[in-house]
Amino acid sequence: MVKTATFEALLSDAVPDGAGGFHFTLEGKTYHIHDKDEVRKIAEQHGYIIIY
């Protein structure tokens, strides 16, 4: 199965945590990230093709 997502849609799921980082949830798994650019790497690990 091919999974695609726009980078903007993925970023909309990155919620500030109040401590300078973000909580990002993808496919039911939550990640704590420090930079929104980490979203791309996580999505690719889940097998997503990112559309810019």
What pLDDT, in 10s, does the model give residues 1-23?
889 999 999 999 999 999 999 99
Report CA 43 to chain centroid distance, whole Å.
6
Total count of domains within the chain: 1
Strand pairing class (48-51; 3-6)? parallel
Which structural domain, as residue segments, surrounds residue 18? Answer: 3-51
pLDDT of 27 reads: 95
Q: Are 22 and 33 in contact (CB under 8 A)?
A: yes
User: Are 39 and 31 in contact, with CB atoms under 8 Å apart?
Assistant: no
Mean model confidence pLDDT for the chain:
95
Q: What token pair was written down for 13?
A: 């799921």
Q: 29: which strand partners?
A: 26
Region 17-42: what's the mean pLDDT?
95
Element (H, E) at 33: strand 29-33
**Taking residues 26-50, what's their average pLDDT?**
96
